[in-house]
Structure 1
């Protein structure tokens, strides 16, 4: 029996039904074999397990088991104040439970290990449909790049909650998944698909970020190339201080790479020695 069960009441049928529905509707669609005091839930779309119990004081306790080391720190950041231990959270209502489960499921699908596994499976399926003799050709490379970029975009939408990492704009058609370390520069598919290797940005910010005309410092504040005139900066909305909504430690190495390219491009524009 899970450790939470010993600290929880035997839940009644209504509580169990509410928990299972919250899981089913928010990314944990399968309830495992029942235990009197907990509901354990999993999904076919990711590898995180959620164990929910009802403590004596009411509300819900949720314990997460995940193969991703990044999941719990991300949940702690997003749900500051409701964590009771490193891997467990306490929420007051069914609505709060649904929100926590939905975010955990979205992150679990977006974080690197799951994104890479989904990519490999999707590539294998796509390659099976190619004509004989296409393996190892430019056609296969393009298939891998298309699938990878689609998978990266999906992961970025999940990770950033469907909104721009800077402007909070949530119109999917104007959002782009921007790599900090470009696709062609990455050493592996794991780097290319790493959700921390980039940001979900509005189209104009994506274009600037992709061309190293903007970048972000260690605290997430936007850096603007001196090659962008004051007038253009005003028209693009770059003159006010702009900052990423958050930064995880895993972003650091990719941003450092991007700033190196940004500084090189800026120095080249101004004729300054690097």
Structure 2
């Protein structure tokens, strides 16, 4: 790798989620970040372009990368034909590394500790801590969902962040622990109308991702709410299915559960 290539790789990494250069020499460049635990090693391919090798603390990273980049997977990493292609690979891997367990949980604990430490003397207590944990947790869950789904509604493809909601499949109050509450697979990024329906178990999704609509929703209201035949999740990972099964049970029973 010549000096120009190294400089381009370092700049691409800095701009796409890998701001630290660990090594940079003739063999290639190794990149890291203070915001997640993944590392990226970039070398030059003999035929031109780059080869990206990822080291991750979560086993979910590589399978998730395959959703978008299966066509450039090689036995030893992901091939990038240009700096732009490398940027896409690095940007997506950084987003996933921030979102996937257990990075979000670690960020959550650090943020909670920081905010509790800033409280005035005498304001602490179990209820205050519960409220801080819930507020920070919901913020971190939203950030993780935006990263995981690429800032795009899981169903409609809408990218306007102001109308996107991080929807829990298994609600916050029903989760056994913070790991469940912050698990990026425990929910979907939905536009506000779908979020409201999903939150109240008026819609759900089957194991193929197909939209399920409650009989309590009148056909006219379905049209007004933008529900259309054939709507489905862009993808559905195996890790989603346990949480979705819980949600679908409430939908099937028509419990009218309100979070």
Same fold (TM over 0.5): yes
CA contact (8 A) 1:134 1:140 kept: no
CA contact (8 A) 2:23 2:31 kept: no
Structure 2 counterpart of 1:5: none
Deviation, 1:132, is: 3.1
TM-score computed with the length of structure 2 as normaliser: 0.96
2-structure distance, mates of 1:78, 1:134: 47
2-structure distance, mates of 1:52, 1:257: 41
2-structure distance, mates of 1:33, 1:243: 44
Residue-pair matches, total = 257
1:235 aligns with 2:224: yes
1:83 aligns with 2:73: yes
Structure 1 counterpart of 2:208: 219
Structure 1 counterpart of 2:132: 143
Deviation, 1:238, is: 1.3
1:131 aligns with 2:126: no
Give the secondary structure class of the aligned counterpart of 1:181: coil
1:33 aligns with 2:23: yes
CA contact (8 A) 2:6 2:24 kept: no
Write the deviation string for residues 201-249 of structure 1: whole angstroms up to 9, x where unpaired. 0000000000000000000000000000011011112132200011111
1-structure distance, mates of 2:100, 2:110: 16
Structure 2 counterpart of 1:49: 39
RMSD of the alignment, in Å? 1.4
1:67 aligns with 2:37: no
1-structure distance, mates of 2:143, 2:235: 19
CA contact (8 A) 1:39 1:53 kept: yes
Structure 2 counterpart of 1:3: none
Structure 1 counterpart of 2:180: 191
Distance 1:13 1:35, change over 3 A: closer
Which deviates the most, 136-145 or 254-263?
Answer: 136-145
Consecutive unaligned residues in structure 1, runs of 5 or more: 1-10, 270-274
1-structure distance, mates of 2:197, 2:234: 18
Give the secondary structure class of the aligned counterpart of 2:110: helix
Deviation, 1:136, is: 3.5
Deviation, 1:35, is: 3.2
Write the deviation string for residues 146-180 of structure 1: whole angstroms up to 9, x where unpaired. 00000000000011100100001011110000000
TM-score computed with the length of structure 1 as normaliser: 0.91
2-structure distance, mates of 1:140, 1:196: 25
